Amino acid sequence: MLQSFIHYGIHFLGPLCVALLFYKSRWKFAYVIMLCGMLIDLDHLLATPIFSPGRCSINYHPLHSYWAIALYVILLVPKKTRLIGLGLVIHIIADTIDCSMM
């Protein structure tokens, strides 16, 4: 229960905190864009079974691979892709913490 609270808390509150701290004048826009980072969980549909409570997503699913994570970090550099990169990196941080708590 606590693990799920932490995991989903980071997924939703992490982007909100970043949006409120660093994008004050357009925090709603920034928050929505960063929440789009949740879409990388669509790669779970490729796994059998789709959900396995004991499985770590990091480097198991294609959009959670080390190569994809490297791309997400690169997206942080250009200003035009920074919000997307932030959402993706926050998502990966949440999943990494979740894996470490298993």
User: Tell me: the pLDDT tens digits for 5-39?
Assistant: 898 899 999 999 999 999 999 999 999 999 999 99
3-state SS class at 78: coil
Enter the pTM of the model: 0.94
| Beta carbons within 8 Å of 19's beta carbon, 6+ residues apart | 27, 28, 30, 31, 34
Are 19 and 31 contacting, i.e. CB atoms less than 8 angstroms apart?
A: yes
Within 10 angstroms of residue 94's Cβ, the number of other Cβ atoms is 23
pLDDT of residue 70: 98
